[in-house]
Structure 1
Amino acid sequence: MFAAFLLALREGLEAALVIGILLGALEKFQLQSLKRSVWLGVAAAVGGSLVVGWGLNALGMELEGQAEAAFEGVMMLLAAGLLTWMIFWLHRQGAAIRRELEHDVRVETQRRGAWGLFLVAFTAVGREGIELAIFLLAARFAAGALPTWGGALLGLALAAFGGWVIFTTTYRLNLKRFFQLSNVLLLLFAAGLVAHGVHEFNEIGWIPAVVDPLWDIGHLLPESTFIGQVLTALFGYNANPSLTEVIAYLMYVVSIGILVLPKPSWRVART
């Protein structure tokens, strides 16, 4: 549930920020009459995301046996790939989000008017919605349907409230700290998705397990317990993983973590 909550909060807050920046830009450029186009774009993006999520969920429910395992493995890796892209994008471009969106508003309203602004809102919010649909489908495979949808609804509700608070109190809120913390959690969550995807491919023979299991601590921390379920949903915990699962998890955390996590600053004391 917490993984779905975190993902929905992250994506929902980004969508709320996008909407707020677009509306703020219209106020800044005295184009208040075009706000309706923003909300129409948001509504279309939400509707499209729901359709994509329903289609993926229906497809996954109809598959059985090896086809179901292959679908789950592909969706796990796809979700991990999208998370990785998002982490890198925010790491490099996060500080320029407001400036880029304001530039888009200025250019598109001059070039295409209301239709251009509709496309800006639809594209920006739709990307977040489709990403969230894929993330939640992957989370559902790991944690179950009810905890996933419950956590997602709670996260979206909090994101909507947070977006309202942000843009009714101040237009210049620095979210750098929030994104840094969530990047660490999402890095570990993405690593768990990678390992889970490898596990599914182990089962159908697409990736050899090599050693299976590498260890078995199910008697100490079963996956069926509350803590085990939380760790499984958040970080891809497996009480009896294969060697290739462990290698995939560690390689992802180390390689991506080195590139995006803040580097410690070492100071040598002078005597």
Structure 2
Amino acid sequence: MLVPFLIMLREGVEAALIVGIVASYLKQTGRGDAMPLVWLGILLALALSLFVGAGLQLASAEFPQKAQEAFEALVGLIAATVLTSMVFWMRKASRSIKGELQHSVDAAFKGGRHSLALIGMVFFAVAREGLESVFFLLAIFQQSQSAEAPLGALLGVICAIAIGYGVYVGGVRLNLRKFFRWTGVFILFVAAGILAGALRSLHEAGLWNSLQTVAFDVSHVLPADGPLGVLFSGLLGYRDAPTVGELVVYVAFLAVTLVLFLMPASPPPEPASASGANLRQKV
């Protein structure tokens, strides 16, 4: 329950941040009457996400067992890729997202069909978050059949809406840089667990049979079905008896992504005009 809650909280805050920036800019520039177009774009994006999620879930139910395992592996691979790209995209875009969105709003109103342009801009921005969430939730729901996962996801969305509204009206001060940094680290651990689970599904589908020796077995110390084991399994992708392949994938993925994610961001390049002026001064 905690994993889908935290992921959907982050996804929801990202979407709410985008919508909040657009809504605030429309209000500041005297275009508040265009807000119904923003809501239409949001509703269309949500409808697309729900349609894709329901379609994939219904389609997978008709597969035979081995094909279903292969489908779960594919969803897991997509989910891990999408989650990782989302983390690194937000790390890069967080410093310029406000200016880019405001520029997109201005560009939408410069065209002859600003209504369609504004709807499309909001639609694609929110649909990106929605489709990311779809693949993540499919991967989680396939690994956990309990009703707690959907409930956790719903609570995460509700909290994200509340935080987004609070940020929009100015009543909530959220350090977005720290929020996205630490939730990003958490998501990378989740993605590593999903990736290891995808490898396991590939083996069960008969598509991967290498490195299947059990690396270690600590089920007698910390069983995966115990209270603490369930918590670690949800948060960190813990397995009490992982295979060598699962362990290699998990550790290698984290070794690469955590180093890249936590290293200091490179400063923006110095404008050519400024560097030229400095050079002339030195000469």
TM interval, short-chain normalised: over 0.9
Q: Tell me the residue number matched to 1:268.
A: none
Deviation of the 1:133 alpha carbon: 1.0
Q: Deviations over 1:180-225 (max 9, x none)?
A: 0101100101111111111111223322342421112222222222
- 1:143–1:229: 8 Å Cα contact kept in structure 2? no
Q: Which aligned pairs between 1:32-43 and structure 2 lie closer than 5 A?
A: 32-43=32-43
The alignment status of 1:80 with 2:64, answered yes or no, reads no
Q: Which aligned pairs between 1:10-21 and structure 2 lie closer than 5 A?
A: 10-21=10-21
Q: Tell me the residue number matched to 1:235.
A: 236
- 1:209–1:242: 8 Å Cα contact kept in structure 2? no
In structure 2, the CA distance between the partners of 1:165 and 1:68, relative to structure 1 (3 Å rule), is same
Q: Tell me the residue number matched to 1:193.
A: 194
Q: Tell me the residue number matched to 1:207.
A: 208
Larger mean CA deviation between 55-64 and 236-245 belongs to 55-64
Structure 1 unaligned blocks of 5 or more: 264-271
Deviation of the 1:92 alpha carbon: 1.4
Q: Tell me the residue number matched to 1:50.
A: 50
Deviation of the 1:173 alpha carbon: 5.5
Q: Tell me the residue number matched to 1:23.
A: 23
Q: Which aligned pairs between 1:113-132 and structure 2 lie closer than 5 A?
A: 113-132=114-133
- In 2, Cα distance between equivalents of 1:220 and 1:204: 30
Match of 2:147, SS state, is: helix
Deviation of the 1:172 alpha carbon: 8.3
Larger mean CA deviation between 62-71 and 121-130 belongs to 62-71
Q: Which aligned pairs between 1:92-103 and structure 2 lie closer than 5 A?
A: 92-103=92-103
Aligned partner letter, 1:253: L
Q: Deviations over 1:19-75 (max 9, x none)?
A: 111111111221112111001101111111111111122223332321111111111
In structure 2, the CA distance between the partners of 1:227 and 1:172, relative to structure 1 (3 Å rule), is closer
The alignment status of 1:251 with 2:264, answered yes or no, reads no
| Aligned length, in residue pairs | 263
- 2:79–2:136: 8 Å Cα contact kept in structure 1? yes
- In 2, Cα distance between equivalents of 1:250 and 1:57: 30
Q: Tell me the residue number matched to 1:141.
A: 142
Larger mean CA deviation between 137-146 and 125-134 belongs to 137-146
- 2:82–2:132: 8 Å Cα contact kept in structure 1? yes
- In 2, Cα distance between equivalents of 1:99 and 1:173: 19
Q: Tell me the residue number matched to 2:3.
A: 3
- In 1, Cα distance between equivalents of 2:253 and 2:61: 29
Q: Which aligned pairs between 1:217-236 and structure 2 lie closer than 5 A?
A: 217-236=218-237
- 2:5–2:154: 8 Å Cα contact kept in structure 1? yes
Structure 2 unaligned blocks of 5 or more: 265-283
Q: Tell me the residue number matched to 2:180.
A: 179
The root-mean-square deviation of aligned C-alpha atoms, in Å, is 1.6
The alignment status of 1:64 with 2:64, answered yes or no, reads yes
Aligned partner letter, 1:93: A
Deviation of the 1:162 alpha carbon: 0.4
Match of 2:45, SS state, is: helix
Deviation of the 1:230 alpha carbon: 2.0
- 2:223–2:240: 8 Å Cα contact kept in structure 1? yes
Aligned partner letter, 2:195: V
- 1:191–1:253: 8 Å Cα contact kept in structure 2? yes
TM-score, structure 1 length as denominator? 0.92
Larger mean CA deviation between 166-175 and 176-185 belongs to 166-175
- In 2, Cα distance between equivalents of 1:9 and 1:172: 16
Q: Deviations over 1:142-174 (max 9, x none)?
A: 222412101000000100110111111169864
